[in-house]
Structure 1
Amino acid sequence: MTPVQTRTRPPVHRRSGTATITVTVEIPTDDPRLARRLTAALGVLAQGGGRVAVAAEGVPALAEAPAAPERSPALVIDVPGREVLIHGEAVALTRLEFELLAFLARYPGMVHTRTELLQYVWDAPDTGLPGRTVDVHVRRLRAKLAEFDALVATVRGVGYRFTRSRDVEYRGTAGASPADDRLLSI
């Protein structure tokens, strides 16, 4: 299998925010297993939310790779049940670790300062708790999240943010928006 043409840094389309990558691959016609393996690999790429189109010279083009089966989220944060599951296995978190994770996940992509986290998670804005308390709890939380530790990102000099991911399901209070769980006013 020899790639003929690839683009390593595809341009992002201004309106849609997506990129198109074109790869041309030569596959010997006498090796059908190689074509099946390549199609399976493209199916894995399609699971990530992208679209994959396959065309071959002399063979009718597939409009799109077969749709991937519906995946269950790898990380589930169940607020009413006060439970965190990684690949279906419960993770033992302390009350503050759970509250910290749930609060950050309620507002994915939003940066929270240590002072805000002390106020909204610890309910202690003026008790004199040092900001390092937040750092220690974040470190312990990341250790327990194992492969998902990168979801709790540090914003240097500011605080922390929960990274958006398709592998995460946030289950808030029934009938309420995530913002209704605990009101955040800035």
Structure 2
Amino acid sequence: MTPVQTRTRPPVLRRSGTATITVTVEIPADDPRLARRLTAALGVLAQQGGRVAVASEGVPASLDVPAEIAAAPARRPALVIDVPGREVLVHGEAIGLTRLEFSLLAFLARYPGMVHTRAELLQYVWETPDTGLPGRTVDVHVRRLRAKLAEFDALVSTVRGVGYRFTKSRDVEYRAATGISPAEDRVLSI
């Protein structure tokens, strides 16, 4: 990821009890992901009653919320993992995952923040003992999954020497299967 330069002035307290904070962010033009993340953060600030001033090079700052932020009535998750429908939506568009890639993503997302070893993943996703597949099988599938997740690739993080973890995020909605009895549902037991 390209570096981002920021400069912040200390808050100026007004008599009304509100603080004015000015932040200047220089975003490289070749990094659209970062611009989208910043726009989303400004949208959250604006929805919580804050006033946002946005300026671009050579354009004076406006104290209004950008049109795309104001037009969005409610925040929808950018990544949806629909387990019953067996599909993954990125910004409302389905991405094509293989059966194992989907199972791997669904398993990791089901337990966000928890680290899973390669042996656990082989047991619960591939349903085979650790000795049944070559050692790099999980790594190759994780690499392919990250490539298909595009801007959400960082959600599947590597814990060096241990395994993989799905990072908690407000941008992710995990839709679990409903009406499944605990006996039918595979429960992680460690």
Instruction: Answer whether TM exceeds 0.5 for this pair.
Output: yes
Are residues 1:5 and 2:10 paired? yes
Pair 70,157 (structure 1): closer, same or farther in 2 beyond 3 Å: same
1:19 is aligned to: none
Are residues 1:70 and 2:66 paired? no
Query: In 2, distance between residues paired with 1:49 and 1:141?
Result: 34
Amino acid at match of 1:5: P
Pair 146,48 (structure 1): closer, same or farther in 2 beyond 3 Å: farther
Amino acid at match of 1:45: L
Query: In 2, distance between residues paired with 1:137 and 1:4?
Result: 45
Query: In 1, distance between residues paired with 2:73 and 2:141?
Result: 37
Q: CA deviation at 1:71?
A: 1.4
1:133 is aligned to: 137
Q: CA deviation at 1:128?
A: 2.9
Q: Which entry has the higher C-alpha Rg, 1 or 2?
A: 1
Q: CA deviation at 1:92?
A: 0.6
Matches within 5 A, 1:76-87: 76-87=80-91
Unaligned runs of 5+ in 1: 7-21, 26-40, 55-65
> What do the CA deviations read for 1:41-61 (whole angstroms, capped 9, x no partner)?
99943617995656xxxxxxx
Aligned residues: 143
Q: CA deviation at 1:70?
A: 1.2
> What do the CA deviations read for 1:6-53 (whole angstroms, capped 9, x no partner)?
5xxxxxxxxxxxxxxx6545xxxxxxxxxxxxxxx9994361799565
Unaligned runs of 5+ in 2: 1-6, 12-18, 23-37, 52-69
Q: Secondary structure at the match of 1:85?
A: strand
2:103 aligned to which of 99, 104, 108: 99
Pair 109,51 (structure 1): closer, same or farther in 2 beyond 3 Å: same
Query: In 2, distance between residues paired with 1:42 and 1:52?
Result: 16
Are residues 1:161 and 2:158 paired? no
1:45 aligned to which of 42, 64, 68: 42
Q: Secondary structure at the match of 1:136?
A: helix
Query: In 1, distance between residues paired with 2:46 and 2:180?
Result: 27
Query: In 2, distance between residues paired with 1:118 and 1:142?
Result: 18
Name the % identity: 72
Are residues 1:184 and 2:179 paired? no
Q: Secondary structure at the match of 1:5?
A: coil
- After TM superposition, the structure 1 stretch with the greater mean CA deviation from structure 2, 167-176 or 79-88, is 167-176
Query: In 1, distance between residues paired with 2:94 and 2:106?
Result: 15
RMSD in angstroms over aligned alpha carbons? Answer: 3.3
Q: Runs of 4 or more off by more than 2 Å in structure 1?
A: 22-25, 41-46, 48-54, 175-178
